[in-house]
Structure 1
Amino acid sequence: MTSATDPLPLPPTVRLIATDLDGTLLRDDKSVSERTIAALAAAEEAGIEVFFVTGRPARWMDVVSDHVHGHGLAICANGAAVVDLHAGGKLLEVRPLDRRTALDVVQRLRDAAPGTSFAVETATGIHYEPGYPPFHLDPGATVAIAEKLLYEEEPGSAAPVLKLLAQHGELTPDGFLTLARTAAADLATITRSSPTSLLEVSGLGVSKASTLALCCAERGISTDEVVAFGDMPNDVEMLTWAGTSFAMGNAHPDVIAAASGRTVANNDDGVAVVIERILAARGARRGA
């Protein structure tokens, strides 16, 4: 893998750019720089589709909704939802976590890591246990134990669960992730994107990579034509799947190991740096 100072590897043909948001496209203040806005627009104008691929729910996509061109699609909740940002975050496709499976994960994590608290992200909003850090952006959330939050009278009668969130106040982030995967990786996909000990649990096989692969297949886009960017463990599968991938300068060590290249940090517009090089290389080939 190249470092941030080495020549960046660029594929001969790029048809789609897939980028994470927090810690990647967004600066630490959650803004999108003017340089990045210009790069995204130039990519779309050149015929390269841009997909935002994030752990965020659709309702938190306002940070980039003004910068979506063409198709208007984004992949949210770590692959559990495909949304149309041109239609206010309308859910187009959902890959849910079965509620009974979620309950099994809850029990296993409670046994493996006493003190774990949970939240449930559904297609209609977030709900959490009394011991879970409150969501100030979602004041209408239900507060109850996980068993109540995940209960439904008949299978399919309640809103689909996009992901289960598990938080621990004492374990280290990577230690908690390793423990949780050991306890329940046979039931669900478990990852993390937060710098804190907060885990995200999706349906088995659901990830940014698997949903992005489905979206690309629908468009006849091969993995070799995809360039991806990320910074945290929930990006690893996507960076491994993409033909060309870049870890941010601020990325987690596992991300750096998974990516084929490395760009500068999010606060230094690392995504824009690579997009500009892709477009410059395309222009040079056409002018040759």
Structure 2
Amino acid sequence: MVPVTHPPERPAPTSPRAPSEGARPAPRLIATDLDGTLLRNDKTVSDRTVAALAAAESAGIEVFFVTGRPARWMGVVSDHVHGHGLAICANGAAVVDLHAGRRVVRVRELTRTDAVAVVEALRTVTPGLSFAVERTRGIHYEPHYPHFPGDPGASYAPVEELLTDSDEGHFAEPVVKLLAHHPTMDPDEFLALGSKAAGAHAEFTRSSPSALLEISGHGVSKASTLALACQERGISPEQVVAFGDMPNDLAMLSWAGTSYAMANAHPDVLMCTTHTTSSNEDDGVAKVIEDLL
């Protein structure tokens, strides 16, 4: 694992910010979420968006895919990378080289101690939970967790066993996310409850329309890992244009100098961003890139 520091994230504004067009520096990096943002609802990338991404990199603007997806689910965009080919996955817990077979080049793990503490705290405040453990090379489920299709090699056991630390098999891989699912709760209420109950041990967010919490190590978010990548490249937040649609994008959108919510975004995302663009079905990201160029 590559040791990292955690630069401070900007607090999210409570109301939309007015753009200062005259003072804004030229963009050097575009950071875009995938599901509900760059991808259409059928999980494809439109020809217009492919052309816009290529044009941005031809103009010297780096493009980072910044997603909650694990590395193994990045096939949806692997054919559309240019230049550097890096993606920030698992809500900031992994940086992946898409040009090298989706090789994980940086990990910011959730420790077993914190993960177990989160499980115990959540079970105390709400019954009916089930958990899954996302490691760098695969996901593992409790028996009653609604598992994702197309994930071969998963194992099934109580979460305490799934969080075992060992030098053998998948137990030797770092944990990048803990997932908690509730069958009936309101998703936003579940997020607030989880954050209050166990926020001292981890970062909580959500990107699913169901009551599914995505839980990462302390200080790990799309924003903090993007900040590290930008720091290494000498890129300031004011030179970053970011796109997103769900609560797991909030920190990144608040950190970036210019942010765009998709027209289909969660209300909290619409509140915090500098601008709004068209929906993911209407090539909203491509439209903004075309205007930037």
Distance in 1 (alpha carbons) for counterparts of 2:165 and 2:19: 54
**Among residues 172, 183, 186, which one is paired with 1:169 in the alignment?**
183
Question: Unaligned 5+ residue runs, structure 2?
Answer: 1-14
Q: Are 1:275 and 2:293 matched, yes or no?
A: no
Alignment-mate amino acid for residue 96 of structure 2: V
Distance in 2 (alpha carbons) for counterparts of 1:7 and 1:123: 39
Q: Are 1:31 and 2:44 matched, yes or no?
A: yes
Supply the RMSD in Å over aligned alpha carbons. Answer: 2.0
Report the CA distance between 1:135 and its aligned residue. 2.1
Which residue in the other structure is 1:129 paired with?
A: 142
Which residue in the other structure is 2:192 paired with?
A: 178
* Contact 1:9/1:244 (8 A) holds in 2: no
Q: How many positions carry a matched residue from both structures?
A: 277
TM normalised by structure 1 equals: 0.92
Give every structure 1 segment of 4 or more consecutive aligned residues whose post-TM-superposition deviation is greater than 2 Å: 6-12
**Among residues 229, 242, 247, which one is paired with 2:261 in the alignment?**
247
Report the CA distance between 1:12 and its aligned residue. 3.5
Q: Are 1:54 and 2:95 matched, yes or no?
A: no
**Partner secondary structure for residue 185 of structure 2:** coil
Distance in 1 (alpha carbons) for counterparts of 2:28 and 2:241: 8
Q: Structure 1 residues 8, 119: closer, same or farther in 2, change over 3 A?
A: farther
**Among residues 204, 218, 225, which one is paired with 2:239 in the alignment?**
225
Which residue in the other structure is 1:151 paired with?
A: 164
**Partner secondary structure for residue 213 of structure 1:** helix
Which residue in the other structure is 2:4 paired with?
A: none
Which residue in the other structure is 2:77 paired with?
A: 64
TM normalised by structure 2 equals: 0.91
Which residue in the other structure is 2:219 paired with?
A: 205
Report the CA distance between 1:74 and its aligned residue. 0.3
Distance in 2 (alpha carbons) for counterparts of 1:165 and 1:20: 19
Alignment-mate amino acid for residue 183 of structure 1: A
Q: Structure 1 residues 15, 141: closer, same or farther in 2, change over 3 A?
A: same
* Contact 2:116/2:160 (8 A) holds in 1: yes
Which residue in the other structure is 1:82 paired with?
A: 95
Which residue in the other structure is 1:118 paired with?
A: 131
Distance in 1 (alpha carbons) for counterparts of 2:78 and 2:101: 8
* Contact 1:96/1:203 (8 A) holds in 2: yes
* Contact 2:133/2:163 (8 A) holds in 1: yes
Report the CA distance between 1:112 and its aligned residue. 1.1
Report the CA distance between 1:111 and its aligned residue. 1.0
Which residue in the other structure is 1:258 paired with?
A: 272
* Contact 2:94/2:104 (8 A) holds in 1: yes
* Contact 1:239/1:245 (8 A) holds in 2: yes
Alignment-mate amino acid for residue 49 of structure 1: E
* Contact 2:93/2:220 (8 A) holds in 1: yes
Report the CA distance between 1:258 and its aligned residue. 1.4
* Contact 2:16/2:273 (8 A) holds in 1: no
Report the CA distance between 1:230 and its aligned residue. 0.2
Deviations 1:12-61 (A, max 9, x none): 41000000000000000001001100100000000000000000000000
**Among residues 70, 95, 106, which one is paired with 2:119 in the alignment?**
106
Question: Unaligned 5+ residue runs, structure 1?
Answer: 280-288
Deviations 1:59-84 (A, max 9, x none): 00000001111111000000000010
Report the CA distance between 1:257 and its aligned residue. 1.2
Alignment-mate amino acid for residue 34 of structure 2: L
* Contact 2:19/2:274 (8 A) holds in 1: no
Distance in 1 (alpha carbons) for counterparts of 2:92 and 2:262: 20
Distance in 2 (alpha carbons) for counterparts of 1:152 and 1:186: 22
Distance in 2 (alpha carbons) for counterparts of 1:186 and 1:22: 29
* Contact 2:132/2:142 (8 A) holds in 1: yes
